[in-house]
Every structure is written in structure tokens, then in C-alpha cells.
Structure 1
């Protein structure tokens, strides 16, 4: 009777391993290297190396320059993707830490390519996040994160956003019209918290603070049930201190 394979052992695909060894060999030569040298360094037969190098070149992971092979644009894209993933992980870790320290849900959003992007939320059973019952992108005028981001835009970008996402009341407390919103945004003090009371969701109060790092508009926010409103301003003051310390340490990046 044949012995059953060990189901717990990983299945290794030889061609993938060999291709990765070739990529590692190429990455060790900033100015490129010929195929024969790469085959030797990767410990591969020359015909196998040629076949894999042609495939990697066709897919954009390598490219030829004056007879030498160098890393291609697709490889750079992988590196950028890893860097983005690392930055997102740092953001997620920071938000989780602030949630635990403050005992409130914490949100992080950026304004990119004309839209609000809710990048990450840290909440928990004792600090639940506000349910996104109305699309955050379309209701920037109604929540603290959106108002904070809009306040950081120049007039042209702000007007463009409101042309595409008109002001409309989604609760009895939402700002009533475009003119009233623009007046509110104009009156906001730079780098001061933006506070919103039941404008996006009844029974909820929120506060957001702007983050200045490069040219990207970004904001961090917290929310609380209405009956705990007295905790809001002390918590957002503490959040500002936490964010300031992290920015000072250069461990936080919003270039995502």
C-alpha cells in the first residue's frame, strides 16, 4: 500500500522557488547581470534559468538593459505594495493603542483624488464604532471626519467636492445647506478639533483633529454616545497629545 503524503507538510512549487532565487540574484546587482552569471549564482542549469528569466521579463518583473538583466517595474510595484502594507499596519496599531488608552473608537481618514477614504477604524465591544448607515464619502458635510477634511482643502477643491456631493440633511441636526456649511468651515480655527453633535447619527457625538504631514489632508476622530458627551473634549485633547508624540517620532505616515 502506498504511503499517504504528509498532509501537514507544505507543498513547495519548484519553479516558483527557482524564479525567486533568480530575482534575489538580480536584486544583488544594482547595475544588472548577464543570464549566465545569474544562473550560476542561483544554482540553476542554464536552460532552466533562461526559460525563467524570459518569463520574468515578459511579466515585467525583470527587464534587459544593454544585455544585462535588472529588476523591472512590476518588482518595484511589489515593493511599493509592501511599503503601503507596512504603513497601514502602523496606522492600525496606532489606532488600536489609542482606542485602548482612551476607551473610545478611533477613526482615521484621508482625502485623496476628490474623495474621503476611511482608511482604518479601531473599536471593540466596549467602544463600538458608529455604523456607516449613510456613505461616508457622500456625507462629509454631516460628520466630524468629513468636516475636518473639507476644512483643510482649498476653496476650489472644497467647492468641487460639494458640487459632486451636495449638502443634504440626514438627521434633524445636520447643517441645513451649502452656505451654512461653508460659513462653518471658514470659521474653523486651524488645527482645532471639529466637534459634531448628532449630525450624522442620532445619539452620537464625534470630534476630529486634522493631521498635517505633507500635502495629504488627513484626520483622526473619536465618537461617543450622547449620554457620555462630557468625555468627548477631554478624550480628544488626550488624542492630540498621542498623535503629536507619534508624529514627532516619525513612526506614522499618511502617504498611503
Structure 2
């Protein structure tokens, strides 16, 4: 029984891909019978696969009974595009890590949240312990504060209305007014720091980057006993930010 399941599963996957290709060839949609003829699949098999694909969002059935590609494929396409962009800038993050002996991070502000897209670390450059998700710690991380500082007032207030300023360490800023004051204190200084505000024993510095119109931040984390090197790290980050932005903004 087990020996027969593998080939059967592979065959089903191959049939599903053939069916998706056939659906994708018809911008206005195609009925199941036509798709069965074009793929050489039995009609019953075609109906079964279409129902499964529609249930999972890979195809969508129109009112006239035709099938078109579903939204799930669009999500996968967008994700593959993001992965391709990240592959372009990953060597730049690796260079930051190697030059500064510090883990390098890249975040994006998407759908109203600050999300980590990439971390490049190593034995000599361990990442900070992410004991609280970055989505809930934008006020306490250099990466998050960097994004918040670049937002306009409306977007910043909207973000803060949905996120409490949790007390993560004795150094965390927990009052909105104080946070806003500090974000606006040095408008000409593009680098933003986190001095043990997210995690005791760790300091971070970050600068803004962009993926097209999408705001993000590029940063590194250091042990607190290396805080004297923050200025050096800031200069290196600022030099890298333009290259990262160019890499992220190139058309796939």
C-alpha cells in the first residue's frame, strides 16, 4: 500500500499543475469540459481537482461555471517576488554582519504592522533574542522606532492606537507623549537607537530603507558592552541603506 501512495500522490500533483496551467491560459475563464479536453484528463478527475483547487483558493468558479485562477496564486506570486528581492540584498546584510560582527535585520511596514523580513546572523554575530514579537514591540526596538519616525502623523497615531507601549525593560519608553517627543527630537539624524529598551544586554541601531513605496528599516544588534561602536555602525548602515533600497526597488 505504502509503495503505491507515492507515485499516486506525485501524479495527482502533476495533474493539478497541468490543470492550473490550462486555467491560466484562459483570461476570461474556461469550463471544466474544455479544461479536461486540453489537459487530457478524465472529466471526473478534472471536476475533482477543480473542486479541491477552488476550496483552497487556487482557482475560482465564475457564475457561468467557468474557472479562473484564484487569489491564492496571486499571494504566492507576490511572495516569490519578495523572496527574489531579498536574495538580492541578502549579501549586503551579510556584509554588514561581517564588518560589524553584528546580526543584521531588515523590516517592512506592511498592512499597518512592522514585520521582520530577514535576519542574517552567525556564530560571531548572534541575533537578539526575539522574546517579544516585533509587531508588538515597535516602540522599543530601533527597527520599529525607525519606521515610526518616518511615518506621517496620521499613520503613526493609527499604529499607536492599536499597540500598547508594553514595559519590556526598565529602559522601555511606555508613555506615548515621551515616545513621540523622542522620535521627533533629532529630525536630521537618520539613525535611530534602542539602548536596552527591547532586551537588557542588547543595543540596536537602524536606518530607513524602502522597497518601492513600502517603508522599512535596516539595522544591527550589538551587545551592550559594545555600545561605543554605535556611531561606526550607524555610518556603515547609512552607507548600506542606499544600496539596499536600490536592490529592493529594482523591477523583478
Q: TM-score range by the shorter chain?
A: 0.7 to 0.9
SS of residue matched to 2:151: coil
Q: 1:101 deviation in Å?
A: 4.3
SS of residue matched to 2:197: coil
Provide the residue aligned with 1:11 in structure 2.
7
CA contact (8 A) 1:90 1:251 kept: no
Provide the residue aligned with 1:170 in structure 2.
169
Instruction: Output the CA distance in 2 between the equivalents of 1:53 and 1:159.
Output: 45
CA contact (8 A) 1:151 1:188 kept: no
> Relative to 1, partners in 2 of residues 1:35 and 1:96: Cα closer, same or farther, differing over 3 Å?
same
Structure 1 unaligned segments of length 5 or more: list them: none
- Map 1:231-250 to 2 at 5 A: 231-250=229-248
Match of 1:193 among 176, 191, 194: 191
Q: Deviations over 1:133-173 (max 9, x none)?
A: 455444433332222122122224434444542374723x4
TM-score, normalising length from structure 2? 0.75
Instruction: Output the CA distance in 2 between the equivalents of 1:230 and 1:108.
Output: 23
Taking only aligned residues, the RMSD between alpha carbons, in angstroms, comes to 3.6
Instruction: Output the CA distance in 1 between the equivalents of 2:77 and 2:136.
Output: 33
Q: Deviations over 1:165-205 (max 9, x none)?
A: 2374723x444744332222112325611133333334433
Runs of 4+ in 1 over 6 A off after TM superposition: none
CA contact (8 A) 2:138 2:144 kept: yes
CA contact (8 A) 1:62 1:75 kept: no
CA contact (8 A) 1:207 1:223 kept: yes
> Relative to 1, partners in 2 of residues 1:235 and 1:74: Cα closer, same or farther, differing over 3 Å?
closer
> Relative to 1, partners in 2 of residues 1:210 and 1:20: Cα closer, same or farther, differing over 3 Å?
same
Instruction: Output the CA distance in 2 between the equivalents of 1:206 and 1:98.
Output: 13
Q: Deviations over 1:25-71 (max 9, x none)?
A: 22233344454543333223445435544554565514347565432
- Map 1:152-167 to 2 at 5 A: 152-163=150-161, 164-166=163-165
Provide the residue aligned with 2:207 in structure 1.
209
Which structure: greater helix fraction?
A: 2
Instruction: Output the CA distance in 1 between the equivalents of 2:125 and 2:246.
Output: 27
Provide the residue aligned with 2:27 in structure 1.
30
* Bigger Rg over Cα: 1
CA contact (8 A) 1:95 1:106 kept: yes
> Relative to 1, partners in 2 of residues 1:35 and 1:141: Cα closer, same or farther, differing over 3 Å?
closer
